Copies of this chain bind each other. A is one copy, B any other.
Amino acid sequence: MNAVEEKNLSRIQREKRGKIQKAALEVFSEYGLRSATLDKIATACGLTKPNILYYYSSKDQIYFEVLNGLLDEWVAPLHEISKEGKPIDELLGYMKAKLKISKQKPKESKLFANEILHGAPLMQNILATSLRQTLDEKVAVIDHWVSEGKLANVNGYHLFFSIWAMTQHYADFDVQVKAILDKNEDELFQEAEEYLTNLLLRMLSLPSNQNHSIKRS
């Protein structure tokens, strides 16, 4: 459903669709596309199964719309990285934005993780075109910063991979994290932010004028 079609819906239709999408996010993120059932979604939003299928033509379509509806929001922090800003501040800001999303939107994170883990049948195209293009641009910015001596020499692509991996880990694998560290969420994410800030600072700061005594393997 595109923006124009969306506009032509009545108020009640938009409300119901919103309810369904919200419930669907809960259920899909917990169970995945296949193990999620229309019954579970129906219970979660207080509608009946046929009623859901009055608003959406199939289960797959609900899944597709939920995923698609979150995509822009998901990639948004990447666009915020500005060539004009201070390199390390920009990248620290990006990490913090991603970590905040992991804390506040763990379900969305799990939904994407599950999709990619199973081969991204619905998103592969977007990954290889839109996301890739955006990332290419941002890596070019990083390369530029490196060439100007404003940032330690670093592989931009792998830098983004590692920021994604480390920040999303706290949402996607929260069960494991919490099984090992029994802290409350606030403490946990506070620690994570301190750790990751320190890590990026050490990773990205120029060695200034001193020797770093870095051993090469």
The answer to whether B34 touches A195, judged by C-beta atoms less than 8 angstroms apart, is no
A contact face: mostly helix, strand, loop, or mixed: helix
Tell me which of A40-48, A72-80, A116-124 binds B: A116-124
Number of copies: 2
The answer to whether B118 touches A173, judged by C-beta atoms less than 8 angstroms apart, is no
Please, which residues of chain B bring their CB within 8 A of the CB of A124?
175, 179
The answer to whether A179 touches B131, judged by C-beta atoms less than 8 angstroms apart, is yes
The answer to whether A191 touches B155, judged by C-beta atoms less than 8 angstroms apart, is yes
What is the minimal beta-carbon distance from A174 to any residue of chain B, in angstroms? Answer: 9
Please, which residues of chain B bring their CB within 8 A of the CB of A161?
166, 169-170, 177, 192
Query: Bound state CA distance, A181 and B35, in angstroms?
Result: 32
Query: Bound state CA distance, A173 and B201, in angstroms?
Result: 26
Closest 8 CB pairs of A and B: A210-B210, A165-B169, A34-B35, A127-B179, A158-B195, A128-B179, A165-B165, A202-B202
